[in-house]
Structure 1
Amino acid sequence: MADGVEAELKVAVDAAGASRLARLASLAGLDVTPKGDKRLVSTYFDTPDLALRAKGISLRLRRSGRSGEQTVKFSGSFSLGLAERPEFNVPYNGRVPDLSRLPDEAAVELTRLVDGRPLVPLFSMRVTRRRWDIATPGGDRVEMALDRGTATAGSRRADIREVEFELVSGDRRALFEVARPALAGVAFHFSTEAKSDLGYALLEGEIGAAEPTTAVDADLDDDMSVEMALQQVLRSCALQISANVAALRAADDPEGAHQLRVGLRRLRTALKVFASVMAPGAAEPLGAEARRLAAEVAHTRDMDVLIDELVAPLEGDDIAALIVLLEKRRKAARARLATVLAERSTGDFLIDLLAFTEARGWLSTDDIGQSVGLAAPVTPFAEEVIARLRRKVEKLGRDPEALSPDERHELRKRFKRLRYAYDFFEPLLPKSARRKLLPRVKAAQDVLGVLNDIHMAHLMLDDVHAAGPKAGAVERAIGYCLGWHSARAEAIWERRSDDLTL
């Protein structure tokens, strides 16, 4: 592209997905023009002490056939696959960078940072790039590029299978309009780093499989508007959801299911918390899909809790027989979840979530007053939200002893929404709330969470019917577990019910 700010959406795919995308010929409703293949060899340079890396700058020389190019990309925004970075390209066939060939604004900055130190090659990437030019009905143009190849740093190597959707002209919403049908049926996850970050990680020996990821703080501050806070919170939710979908596709670590469930719950809370400043109904499709996916994750997560936290800590041959049976059910639940995560609906949800977040999907086309609410300072908004959610907790939790099991479950959900709202807005809240009230909310959530786990254990174990020579052992183990945890629940309630009042 020409010198300026590149806007691109990047995703990583597996070998099967890359093979499928390589055969792309058409997309319904879009004008697709194949542009052929290029073989690219890119070498990345930095000073021995990685001065460019420290500033988020990448400097590369790239060759394609007899043509060469020198490119520098400066630090920009990189939010869950969507990158916007200033970049400068100049034709160049040399073997070492020549900063004087760059435009003055780039040359001056790099020369200052390099400060006379040598620029040394650190890692290289060899890929075959297959490209398509794609036009939307509205006239926007997107270049889709599939890169397949290898990154090398010394003796370390890593496969590259990446798809980039780069905006050539028009509105960046076209990136999502193209990506959604192009990636239909392909297992993917959003890239959270540039190619140069992959090279540096390889250089440092830090390449590994996707791992379960906890929530990332939204990093709100008093200077933000409500809309800025909304976007930051949604980015935090989207990052947690996408990362844990990728982790579960790579392995069946129980923490992946747990964190995906948490991410989906945080998203649903965020959509409710900010509903008053969104166009009516704008977030309903996302909320519905988040509920659907959460229900699919729930069975796997509940099986993990039942086996690992409630049954396995108990001892005896009967318990071992029950675990064998439950493990078969967990395996089936994990297989079901893996199938769901590979379905087109999950990929569509991830793209729709990112599009909603980055293309401001909450905007109304006819509510002129909406802009006032979105532009308002976030701190008063946050304080009102917390106060409202707290009142709902206090109303139901005035007399914990009088609550029915269903009311306890509802109280747990209210505490959970309050907890997530605290997490979103914590930097904006008074110190007194952070010091006193937040720990009480967390303690109440923990109590109700344990009681809910025990309740779920009753429901799940009541559905277990054993047969065969181990049937007696399994039935005895179920009775023992239910009796043990029923007594435990009563003890927890008697000892900790006071924790449920604020």
Structure 2
Amino acid sequence: MITPTPTSAEIELKLLLPGADARQIGTQLATIPGLAELVPTEQRLRNIYYDTPDQQLRRAKAALRLRSLRQGGGRTRWIQTLKTAGAAAGGLSQRGEWESTVRSGRLDPVLLQGTPWPTLDADGQLFAQLAPCFETDALRTLRLYTADDGSRIEVVLDIGQVRAGEARSELCELELELLKGRPDALFELAEHIGTHLALLPAPLSKAEQGWRLVDGTTHAPRRARKLDLEADTPVLQAAQTVLGEMLGQFVENLGRILESDGSELVHQARVGWRRWRSALWLAKPLLANHPVPDISALRPLLNALGAMRDLDVAALESLPQWADAYIAGNPERAVQWQAMEAAVTAERSLRRAALLSTLQAPATGRTLLQLERWLQALPQGAWTPELAEQTIEHWAVARTKRLHSRLAGEVKEMEEADLQSAEGIEHQHKVRLLAKRTRYVLEALRTVLPRERTRRWQEQATELQTSIGAARDLMLLATLLEPLGVTPEILGFLRGVAAGRTADA
């Protein structure tokens, strides 16, 4: 019997290659200093992933695959691999992995002994139900890189497809897998590569990509996920978890924007970023000895996301509800409205192109990698003993009380201001942003906060955000449309509606 070989600390960093030409990217990679002198090895890989009809392995966060591997003109080898869920922090994924060579292209239950499989399938019933669910087919080019400190990294370029039935998804990604040494060496190498090629962190494994094909959710937005923090979780660990979930939402949606023009992807990317910034405020007192990297290189991306979202709100939410009221059966007005819609559509295409350009800028990916590197190192910072031993519960209660008090004060000032003045309008916007921050922080920490008070504060923050947001969107609408050459009659109509809504707010 062949004994399975465990690799219980598989640590890797996955990267997208935005804007890359699959036919040229291998040549480009080969010119990068530090990689250019390495001899590449090419392999043809086909991975078949198995599960039960009710996806028991997926629900257990495990994956079982059968791989065919052919190198050069050699014979095809078959490898059976079991992977189990592990930790993920700061863009790095760590999973348990057990590999065995099999004699043919069939799963072998004997080779699963000595792995965690018996805990998943104690009576053997699960194995009997296994069937292929999806597969990947790729040309793999790999290089073995040795850092100055001796850390060894496998640099893997995969070009191919993920397939589930008739569904297809293109595969063009880079994986850096740590064979020996420091996990931080992965980030060092990625940042070096990112000075020559555009990269983006890629949180999804190939198995997750396959399941999204099966589900038909390849282009679905990544929304906020609930966090089940425990009251006794160390505050630094909790901060890393909260920040990681929020940065993950931002980064995952950026990757999907590359492939799809869905307006909700843009919206959820911006939500992820605002949640991340809210969590940074929450954790600010913790970070004196661990300052956040400079994010100024992300400003073009954030501006492009905002510009895209403004137009999406106008085209999909604000304008449709007022079309009938403006046209009112008048053919001339109908023509004006159609011309305005055509102008918005054309402008949206231009803003989409500008957004993609920022995602393909090397500075964007390098900055995101620096954020993930910073996040991965957060718990290892130079902390005082008191802070290192502190739990999240006391911290969360104190910080949310302070945030709610600040919001209440700003609301009181807003109610006393002239909301028609520029100063009043700006104060309204400030309150809206603070309400969002309050809601995001309360949602993230809900499991360690007083339940009834948290629910009440969340409802108040949501109501503020919604009511101010609707009025503000209308106020900005005419300003947004004016540079597009929209007729003065429509602009005047929209300004009148906005004034009426603001007075009622």
TM-score (ref. length: structure 1): 0.84
| 1:278-305 Cα shifts (integer Å, max 9, x gaps) | 135711414x455553223112212222
- The 5-angstrom pairing of residues 98-177 of structure 1 reads 98-101=108-111, 104-106=114-116, 108-109=118-119, 112=122, 114-115=124-125, 118=128, 122=132, 123-152=134-163, 158-177=169-188
**Structure-1 separation of matches of 2:276 and 2:166:** 42
Match of 2:60 in 1: 55
Alpha carbons of structure 1 residues 254 and 130: separation in structure 2 relative to 1, 3 Å: same
- The 5-angstrom pairing of residues 460-475 of structure 1 reads 460-461=480-481, 463-464=482-483, 466=485, 474-475=487-488
Alpha carbons of structure 1 residues 304 and 59: separation in structure 2 relative to 1, 3 Å: closer
For the aligned residues, what is the CA RMSD?
Answer: 3.1
**Structure-2 separation of matches of 1:153 and 1:304:** 32
**Structure-1 separation of matches of 2:209 and 2:180:** 28
Q: Which amino acid aligns with 1:186?
A: A
Match of 1:498 in 2: none
Alpha carbons of structure 1 residues 96 and 302: separation in structure 2 relative to 1, 3 Å: closer
Alpha carbons of structure 1 residues 28 and 389: separation in structure 2 relative to 1, 3 Å: farther
Match of 2:460 in 1: 440
Alpha carbons of structure 1 residues 407 and 280: separation in structure 2 relative to 1, 3 Å: farther
Instruction: Check conservation: 2:229, 2:447, Cα contact below 8 A.
Output: yes
Cα displacement (A) at 1:482: 0.5
Secondary structure in 1 aligned to 2:82? Answer: strand
Instruction: Check conservation: 1:311, 1:481, Cα contact below 8 A.
Output: no
Q: Which amino acid aligns with 1:435?
A: R
**Structure-2 separation of matches of 1:419 and 1:119:** 44
**Structure-1 separation of matches of 2:112 and 2:453:** 53
Match of 2:102 in 1: 92
Answering whether residue 499 of structure 2 is matched by residue 490 of structure 1, we say no
Instruction: Check conservation: 1:130, 1:145, Cα contact below 8 A.
Output: yes
Match of 1:416 in 2: 436
| 1:325-358 Cα shifts (integer Å, max 9, x gaps) | 3333333222212211221122223322322222
**Structure-1 separation of matches of 2:409 and 2:263:** 35
Cα displacement (A) at 1:26: 4.5
Secondary structure in 2 aligned to 1:7? Answer: strand
| 1:33-69 Cα shifts (integer Å, max 9, x gaps) | 2331122344444567655444333333434343443
Alpha carbons of structure 1 residues 88 and 129: separation in structure 2 relative to 1, 3 Å: same
TM-score (ref. length: structure 2): 0.84
- The 5-angstrom pairing of residues 323-334 of structure 1 reads 323-334=341-352
| 1:445-476 Cα shifts (integer Å, max 9, x gaps) | 11222232233235435x5373xxxx7xx011
Match of 2:420 in 1: none
Q: Which amino acid aligns with 1:486?
A: A
**Structure-2 separation of matches of 1:448 and 1:116:** 53
Q: Which amino acid aligns with 1:376?
A: Q
Alpha carbons of structure 1 residues 321 and 394: separation in structure 2 relative to 1, 3 Å: same
**Structure-2 separation of matches of 1:148 and 1:254:** 28
Alpha carbons of structure 1 residues 313 and 234: separation in structure 2 relative to 1, 3 Å: same
Alpha carbons of structure 1 residues 231 and 321: separation in structure 2 relative to 1, 3 Å: same
Alpha carbons of structure 1 residues 302 and 70: separation in structure 2 relative to 1, 3 Å: closer
Secondary structure in 2 aligned to 1:3? Answer: strand
Instruction: Check conservation: 2:90, 2:375, Cα contact below 8 A.
Output: no
Alpha carbons of structure 1 residues 32 and 80: separation in structure 2 relative to 1, 3 Å: farther
Moved over 6 A (4+): none
Match of 1:298 in 2: 306
| 1:120-159 Cα shifts (integer Å, max 9, x gaps) | 5515443321101122233221101112334455666554
Cα displacement (A) at 1:105: 4.5
Cα displacement (A) at 1:201: 5.3
Match of 1:180 in 2: 191
Among 238, 241, 261, the alignment partner of 2:247 is: 238
Cα displacement (A) at 1:394: 2.2
Among 302, 309, 315, the alignment partner of 1:307 is: 315
Instruction: Check conservation: 1:210, 1:243, Cα contact below 8 A.
Output: no
Match of 2:493 in 1: 480
Instruction: Check conservation: 2:157, 2:175, Cα contact below 8 A.
Output: yes
Match of 1:378 in 2: 392
Alpha carbons of structure 1 residues 439 and 101: separation in structure 2 relative to 1, 3 Å: closer
Among 255, 260, 267, the alignment partner of 1:258 is: 267
Q: Which amino acid aligns with 2:204?
A: T
